[in-house]
Amino acid sequence: MPSVLVPLANGFEDLEAVTIIDLLRRAGISVVTAGLQPGLVLGSRGTRVQPDATLDEALGQDYDLVALPGGLPGADHLRDDPRIRALLRKMAAAGKHTAAICAAPMALAAAGVLDGKRATAYPGVLDGLHLPHTDKRGDAVVVDGKVVTGRGPGTAMDFALTLIEVLVGRAKRDQVEAGLVR
């Protein structure tokens, strides 16, 4: 069974984080949520989440994919955390998947993961960054090799379903999506 790490920082986008965690678990994927600091993590809309572990504890395991929810200032905290940048570089170097939605692709950019890739993000997030080798798109979800990016809260379900497809195949994605009755 594939394993996914979802780091959570104060100010995460509630809809994105919960959708990623929920849908991946519906697909039978092992999901570990990890707070940058110990204790409850507060979403940008007031949702309080008790992570499974601290980031330091979670970094003792290997993962097939790291998925970063957006939201502000959560994405800023992810981008600025040296442990997250190191993890993203390690994942990319090992040929493993990295994923980010909304404002969180800025963390992928800070780690150098978007260099030479196509990517999407919340409108304007990538525009202010110096990314001459990144093809910035307006698509809901972009998959480029082992990098998956999503546009924003309204695309969270499509983003999470794409992560399922990337990790365990189209049939499992279709099964999970059918159960959602969308």
Catalytic machinery residues? 102
Q: How many angstroms separate the Cα of 143 from the Cα of each of 31, 35, 51, 80, 147?
A: 20, 26, 27, 24, 6
Contact (Cβ atoms closer than 8 angstroms) between residue 4 and residue 63: yes
Q: Residue 133 has which token pair?
A: 């080798």
Please enumerate in sequence order all residues whose Cβ is within 8 A of that of 19, keeping only pairs 6 or more positions apart, or say none: 156, 157, 159, 160
Q: What angle do CA 151, 101, 38 make, to 5 degrees?
A: 155
Burial bucket for residue 91 (CB in 10 Å: 0-12, 13-18, 19+): buried
